[in-house]
Structure formats: C-alpha cells, structure tokens
A = this chain, B = another copy of it.
C-alpha cells in the first residue's frame, strides 16, 4: 500500500508521502513515492504515486525521458498544470496499455493513481488527482486536498482541521498526525515520510526533507498527539445518562 497527501492552501502547496512498497508481506522494500520536476523561477511540479510500482515508476520515467529528449510538449514545456496532469494521465495509460495484459495473466493488479501539483509561471498553484483510468479532477476550496492509497485512517483529522486558510505550518503538523494514524493501523504504510513545502509564487521548492521512523520531531508528534487525545477524552464531560460505576 501507500499513503500520500497533497494540499492546496492559500500559502502554498504541501506534499507528503510514505516510502513502503511490498510484493507480499515477505517482500517489503523502501521506495519513495515523490518525484519533483522543477526549473527554478519557472515551474515546480511534484508527483505522488500509489498503486503498482512498475506502472507508476515507468509512467514517470516516460515523462522524464520525453521531457529531456522529446520534441513535443513535455513536463518542462507545458504551459499549465492542466497540461501537466494530462501528460501524467496519458503516460500512465500508455504504460498500462503496454504492461497490463501481461500482469493480468498472472492476476496482478496494474492500477495506479497520482496526485500532481505545482505551479507553472503565469498561473496560480494547482493540485490534481489522476485516477486509475487516467482522467483527473482538480482541488477546490471546498476540498483543498487529495489523498491516495490507504486514505481512510488519516482522513478524519484532515476533515476536521484543514481549510484553504490553514497555514503551511499547521498543515504540516496535521499531515504528520494523519501519517502517524495511518502507519499505526496499516503496516504496509511506512516511514520514512517525504515532505515537500512549496510557497505560493516562489517558483522554487521551499523545503524538502525526509523523516525517518526515529526522527525526534516525529516522536514528539506521536507523544503529544497521544497525550492530547487522552486529555481531550478526559475533559469531555460524561453524559448525564451514564450510570454510576460499580458500588
């Protein structure tokens, strides 16, 4: 499995992804799910990927190859993030078309999905979710974020807290709590966590880092969150209808 989040906030974009991949519980590896395609001052494009690793990697390899060696519109020439999301969906469809019949013969799922976000000079930061089928949707102020992979465990905290007005700082903390909830419940989502912050109109990556499992701040998040939730339950008044404890 995988867990990735992308947020499109007024301050900028935030991306986070786990690094666990497996072909069965007896074949677990590390593989980052985040790729960055950037030209300082012109564009920052970030992809997060979930699903079959050979499909996602090779779709991105294809995009990179064409961006560097192709004649047509590639990631570095696209005039909008809409064009970028189209390129990602098309590349994924192309790889699936090539590989899926062989995978299906062996009962292997070739599906894959992407979060694609960034800013191309001349337009605001944008964020897209590219579905398994290669079609895609864009974020909007009502739902300024997308998740892919194991989305359910970490969704409630995002639902409750994130708005387009959330600061990148608040969103970063919220994303790490969301990752911690997910990693506790699904072993196939695992550290390190890749984080990337992009400040609106900067046209360069503001911050990119990798948090290992024993990262001091990640441990602080875990401890603080556990204490806070316990405290929140303790300070929640008991219902009037709750019977008294045993005599």
Confirm or deny: A122 has a beta carbon within 8 angstroms of a beta carbon on chain B: no
Q: Give the residues in chain B near A185, CB-CB below 8 Å.
A: 152, 155-156, 159
A152–B159 CA distance with the chains assembled, in angstroms? 14
Q: Which residue of B lies closest to A184 (CB)?
A: B159
Quick check: A236 and B229 within 8 Å, CB to CB? no
Confirm or deny: A68 has a beta carbon within 8 angstroms of a beta carbon on chain B: no
Q: Contacts A161-B233, A170-B233; is A217 near B239 (CB within 8 Å)?
A: yes
- Residue-by-residue, is A26-51 near B (CB-CB < 8 Å gives 1, otherwise 0)? 00000000000000000000000000
A167–B221 CA distance with the chains assembled, in angstroms? 26
Quick check: B206 and A160 within 8 Å, CB to CB? no
- Size category of the A interface is 35 or more
- Residue-by-residue, is A174-190 near B (CB-CB < 8 Å gives 1, otherwise 0)? 10010001001100000
Q: Contacts A152-B153, A232-B225; is A238 near B169 (CB within 8 Å)?
A: yes
Confirm or deny: A108 has a beta carbon within 8 angstroms of a beta carbon on chain B: no
Residues 184-204 of A contacting B (Cβ, < 8 Å)? 184-185, 197, 199
Q: Give the residues in chain B near A241, CB-CB below 8 Å.
A: 207, 209, 217
A167–B197 CA distance with the chains assembled, in angstroms? 42
A157–B156 CA distance with the chains assembled, in angstroms? 10
| A11 contact from B184, B199, B246, Cβ within 8 A | B246
A174–B230 CA distance with the chains assembled, in angstroms? 9
Confirm or deny: A242 has a beta carbon within 8 angstroms of a beta carbon on chain B: yes
Q: Which residue of B lies closest to A221 (CB)?
A: B236
Confirm or deny: A165 has a beta carbon within 8 angstroms of a beta carbon on chain B: no
Quick check: B169 and A245 within 8 Å, CB to CB? yes
Q: Contacts A181-B156, A184-B156, A229-B232; is A240 near B224 (CB within 8 Å)?
A: no
Quick check: A228 and B239 within 8 Å, CB to CB? no
Ranked 9 nearest A-B pairs via Cβ: A152-B152, A228-B232, A156-B181, A217-B239, A224-B236, A173-B236, A207-B243, A173-B233, A152-B153
- Enumerate 6 A-B pairs (CB-CB under 8 Å) in ascending A order: A154-B156, A160-B184, A161-B230, A217-B240, A220-B236, A228-B235
A interface with B by C-beta (< 8 Å)? 11, 152-157, 159-161, 167-170, 172-174, 177, 181, 184-185, 197, 199, 206-207, 209, 217, 220-221, 224-226, 228-243, 245-246
